[in-house]
Amino acid sequence: MKLLLAPLSVLLLSAAAAPGPQMAVTGGVIEGRRADDGALVFRGIPYAAPPLAANRWKAPRPVRPWRGNRLAAEPAPACLQNDYGWNKEDAAHASEDCLTLDVRTPGRRGRRPVMVWIHGGSNRAGSARGTVESRLTANGVVLVAIQYRLGMFGFLAHRGAAAEARGHAGNYGLMDQIAALRWVRANIAKFGGDPANVTIFGESAGAQDVSLLLAAPAARGLFAKAILESGTPGFGMPFRSRAEGFALGEQAERLVGTRSIAGLRRAPAAVLLAADRKLHDPAIARPHAVWNDDMVWLRTQIDGLVLPRSPRVLLEEAPPRPVILGTSVAEFGPAEGSIALGDALRAAFGAQAATVAHAYQAPDPRRGGPLLALSTDLIFGCPTERLAALLARRNWPVWRYRFDLARDGGRSSHGSELPYVFDGLAIAGKPGLLQRLWIHFAKTGVADPAAWPRYARRNPQAVLFDAQGMRTVDAAPSEACALHETL
């Protein structure tokens, strides 16, 4: 694994090079490039100081100013992460100096809606990657993609760090996202964006983080709307208390071979990454459960600062904002046969397992096998239903969807909707249908009123995207979701 551990260098332009578009932002002047369609693209813009050494496990610090023009035409390093196979490129091009964002805009003039993308990857992997290469901006919006600390670097709660911060620790990745949104508020007008009309959207862990930003008091006023693609607070797992978070911090100490936050800050990044692979959360890695240690950083931490209380309580107190949320009909789960269905049902539903067993013994083929159908419900479907009902009860404008399409014509899965959003793939012969709906929502705060009914608790409806197009379907909770209370 190649780790770029040194801070990002500030590259000065060669006098012979043709200058690209320049912009004065917080910290200095950046120079991007002009895309083939005329859009202006800026990549690797720092929104906070590098979280290195003594700044590990601390809230993000202000941007360090630079002199001259900083080149912002090429991808910046991803945040530090282990190689899990699917993220090989990000893991190979990674650095602790990674608190950057990318911007693509049709032009400097105007006051366009802004869409801020928060990437997925279980809060332990992924990056902004090529998000801003999407032609989504041709439809009259400004697109921003942000990066945030991942895994142990972004979400570990340690008693030593808490002692330095009035008892608060953990959720540094969420703090990074809030810092990035503050940068957007301060700078996006220069890119032709409207800081008063910002939509945050994300998929998987990114959608979970979007939901937590809806809850977080510190994020209020930084965005107006939200789109959640296959993610909710905690993914159906019980929220992690500060005591449980500190226990993980102590486990990290033992794995690294130190007994203090200072020792963890001195540890080489490679040692910390190796320890991250071994962390074990007994509350989610129960025998026969669909949740496991791969999801250790998806279990929502009550840190006392970003999330001072349960996200459920915070959402009930938060000001209503328009929200789109939904899932694929077959997300992901354990390999069929790797867990006995009866054991998985008992782990999820206890004494009521027999009540719902019939729903999973021969599920709809579009939902996959029994374990895939069960996992999709427990991790995605049921928590999404709970969240939609909670928001609707508080008079939030809510629209739900289900996605049943795959690029190859097969069964949908986790992230299947992404090329339909960013690449504008056709649905039932209609090019860019999902992309246009997302952009219409970003512009107006309303999903298509002619074809997409607002979700209501007394008449819960959603739209289904499948090979036949887009149509309204019943969204009443299933028998299993009615028994699964976790949000």
User: Is the pLDDT confidence value at 8 over 70?
Assistant: no
What is the pLDDT of the chain when averaged over all its residues? 94
DSSP bridge partners of 463: 401, 472
Q: How confident is the model at residue 375 (pLDDT cuts 50, 70, 90)?
A: very high
How distant, in Å, are the alpha carbons of 331, 342, 406, 444 from that of 370?
A: 13, 10, 20, 40
Q: Are strands 323-328 and 398-403 parallel, antiparallel or unpaired?
A: parallel
pTM of the prediction? 0.95
- For 319-368, how does the pLDDT look when each residue is reduced to its tens digit (9 = 90+)? 999 999 999 999 999 999 999 999 999 988 988 999 999 999 988 999 99
Q: How many residues does the chain have?
A: 487
- For 260-279, how does the pLDDT look when each residue is reduced to its tens digit (9 = 90+)? 999 999 999 999 999 999 99
**128 closest CA partner among 208, 69, 198, 43:** 43
Write out the two tokens for 70: 């900083």
Write out the two tokens for 369: 């096998």
- In this structure, the number of other CB atoms found within 10 A of the CB of residue 49 comes to 17
Q: How confident is the model at residue 17 (pLDDT cuts 50, 70, 90)?
A: low
Contacts of 31 (CB under 8 A, 6+ apart): 13, 19, 20, 21, 22, 69, 70, 71, 72, 73
Query: CA torsion angle for 23, 444, 476, 291 (degrees, to 10)?
Result: 0
- For 394-410, how does the pLDDT look when each residue is reduced to its tens digit (9 = 90+)? 999 999 999 999 988 88
Handedness of CA 469, 470, 474, 476 (dihedral sign): positive
Write out the two tokens for 467: 């090979």
**245 closest CA partner among 333, 171, 327:** 171
Contacts of 474 (CB under 8 A, 6+ apart): 460, 461, 462
Residues 439, 426: Cα–Cα separation, whole Å: 15
Write down the pLDDT at residue 365.
92
Residues 208, 157: Cα–Cα separation, whole Å: 19
Q: What are the DSSP E strand ranges found in 304-357?
A: 323-328
Contacts of 256 (CB under 8 A, 6+ apart): 263, 264, 267, 271, 272, 275
Task: Report percent pLDDT > 70 for the chain.
Answer: 96
DSSP bridge partners of 154: none
Q: How confident is the model at residue 294 (pLDDT cuts 50, 70, 90)?
A: very high
- For 157-216, how does the pLDDT look when each residue is reduced to its tens digit (9 = 90+)? 999 999 999 999 999 999 999 999 999 999 999 999 999 999 999 999 999 999 999 999
Write down the pLDDT at residue 11.
47
CB 384 within 8 A of CB 196: no
Chain-centroid distance of CA 42 in Å reads 21
- For 225-247, how does the pLDDT look when each residue is reduced to its tens digit (9 = 90+)? 999 999 999 999 999 999 999 99
Q: How confident is the model at residue 131 (pLDDT cuts 50, 70, 90)?
A: very high
User: Is the pLDDT confidence value at 4 over 70?
Assistant: no
Residues 237, 415: Cα–Cα separation, whole Å: 20
Write down the pLDDT at residue 5.
45
Write down the pLDDT at residue 457.
86
Write down the pLDDT at residue 285.
80
